[in-house]
Structure 1
Amino acid sequence: MLKVTDAEEVRWIRFDRPEKLNALTLDDIRQGLDLVAHAPRHTRAIVFRGAGDRSFSSGVDVEQFRGLTPEGAREFISELKRFLDAVRTAPYITVCAVNGYCLGAAMELAMATDLRIAAETASFGMPEIAVGIPSVLDSALLQQHIGLTRAKEVLLTGWRYPAAELDRWGFLNAVAPGDELDATVRRFLDGTARHSTAAVAAQKRLFETWQNEPLGTSLEVSVDEFAGVFAEPETAEAVESYRARR
């Protein structure tokens, strides 16, 4: 079950199944997609959080895999792909506020978000290999976050890692005491969510282009995106606001 709160242009999505370490079902994944895809128009950021202190999310509930056929597996992973694609390409800032366990699909969600902020007690891992399945989807981004050598270690061993280690590897934006996690997230949002929505959306589209297209194409698209934001009224407002603050 996911619970949602909209406050001050931020949508907080909470995984709320603490008795199962906030493990995800197919219904949860579909609900997550809907909550991301149909956020209010004024939304500037989405923050994912886990209920309780023990777990952000332990990933997909392993019960979902029992008796699964290849056709059912394709349907399941395709739904998860749609959810993660929506998070990664959302036109606003996306954040994982990680408390406790962040495993499997939950760590893939963290790879898909723009910012990753963890409590000191958080731990991360990709245990799929121990379940008998490969890590897929946004795991493809892990080598960009921590390098190929570390990515192979994480995906081929299934080990868990404390937040401090993932922070040293460059995977996290910040690590905070548990009781300061939400406040730390808000400080990051104060520095990002107030920016022009047109500029944020354009920058995020460019990240997708830069990751997926050759350099020449990336440069051409950059020119188009730069020119395009000047069709937005808020661009002129942002320019004048910046000039006034100098």
Structure 2
Amino acid sequence: MRNFILTEVDGPVFTITLNRPEVLNAWNAAMREELVDALDEAENDEAVKAVILTGAGDRAFGAGQDLNETKTFDADRAELWIGEWEKLYTRIRSLSKPIVAALNGVAAGSAFQVALLCDLRVGHSGVTMGQPEINSGIASSTGPWIMREMLGIARTIDLTLTGRMMDAEEAERIGLINRLVPRDKVAGEAMALARELAEKPPVAMRLDRQRFREVTEASFQDALKAGIRIQREAYASGEPARMMEAFLAKRRARKNA
């Protein structure tokens, strides 16, 4: 029984939907575990040849980490948190089947990172993408790793330190969105792309994805090691909890205004 993930099989395509639309599909520990479980299911089904990952609703692929969870962390829990991300990211990276991200709104923070870990991304003109973690007091470790691999150090510094969100046109221009289509065409384009990938020779597909993992594994492991050190120091300082509480208070004030 999954509470935060929906799955559907359509021929060779396995679609996974992040299903917490009331919080813009923000992650918590249970949702991450369910996503790993769903990816295991897709991997173990021989009839499945490609995966689509998307978010419920029309506002967000994912808003990133649920701050109501992380605002309670201490240094020890922050270290365990890095381990949870390692498990999810390793499952995505080790999958033998291609993954298409169908972006239906904001992809922020760790959801942005997950979108980049997918092989191809389909989006619409209203999509925004970025790494705004600094604005809520979260230091970035895995974010700069995947951004540097795809964008280089200059853009990584820009996105990490300013916390700004890119619009879809910028994301397409720098290669992060592979297909930019009207909002009502995203699901169909993602399905067409997934079906195209599903037709490719499966051994070659597995070996290609395996090689992409191999060439980025050393930097991934470095990011995880650094992440433990960085998050322990950050959470021990108390700054993330203060900043997240202030961020959430401002959001509540806006809702009540």
The equivalent residue for 1:181 is 186
Q: Aligned runs of 1:99-110 on 2, under 5 Å?
A: 99-110=104-115
Contact 1:56 1:98 in 2 (8 A): yes
Q: Does 1:167 align with 2:172?
A: yes
Where 2:101 maps in the other structure, the secondary structure is: strand
Q: Distance in 1 between matches of 2:35 and 2:191?
A: 21
Which of the numbers 11, 14, 27 marks the counterpart of 2:17? 14
Equivalences for 1:19-58 in 2 at 5 Å? 19-39=22-42, 40-58=45-63
**Structure 1 residue 144 corresponds to structure 2 residue 172:** no
Q: TM-score, normalised by structure 2?
A: 0.79
Q: Does 1:132 align with 2:137?
A: yes
- For residues 86-120 of structure 1, the C-alpha deviation after alignment (integer angstroms, 9 at most, x for no partner) is 11221000111111110011001011111111122
Question: What is the TM-score normalised by the length of structure 1?
Answer: 0.82
Distance apart, 1:206 and its partner CA = 1.4
Q: What is the aligned residue count?
A: 213
User: What is the CA–CA distance in structure 1 between the aligned matches of 2:91 and 2:144, rounded to whole Å?
Assistant: 16
Q: Which runs of 4+ in 1 moved over 4 A?
A: none
Matched residue, 1:59:
64
Shifted more, 204-213 versus 116-125: the winner is 204-213
Aligned counterparts of 2:195 and 2:9: Cα–Cα separation in 1: 16
State the distance in 2 between where 1:48 and 1:209 align.
23
Query: Residue by residue, what CA displacement relative to the aligned partner does 1:17-68 show, whole Å, maximum 9, x if unpaired?
Result: 1111111111000110111123223221111111111111101111111221
Is the 2:65–2:109 Cα contact (8 Å) retained in structure 1? yes
Residue deviations 1:220-246 (CA, integer Å, cap 9, x gap)? xxxxxxxxxxxxxxxxxxxxxxxxxxx
Asked whether the 8 Å contact 1:13–1:49 carries over to 2, the reply is yes
The one-letter code sitting in structure 2 at the alignment partner of 1:120 is: S
Mean Cα displacement is larger for which, 189-198 or 169-178? 189-198
Relative contact order higher in (CA < 8 Å, ≥ 6 apart): 2
Q: Which of 117, 120, 127 in structure 1 is aligned with 2:125? A: 120
Q: Does 1:70 align with 2:70?
A: no
CA RMSD, Structure 1 to Structure 2 (Å): 1.4
Structure 1: unaligned runs, 5 residues or longer: 214-246
Larger radius of gyration: 1
Unmatched tracts of structure 2, length 5 or more: 219-257
- Give me the identity figure in percent: 26
Q: Is the 8 A contact 2:52 2:191 kept in 1?
A: no
Q: CA deviation at 1:72?
A: 0.8
Query: Given residue 108 of structure 1, which amino acid in structure 2 is its aligned partner?
Result: Q
**More deviation, 71-80/26-35:** 71-80
The answer (yes or no) to whether the contact 1:56–1:99 under 8 Å persists in 2 is yes
Question: 8 Å contact 2:50–2:195 — kept in the other structure?
Answer: no
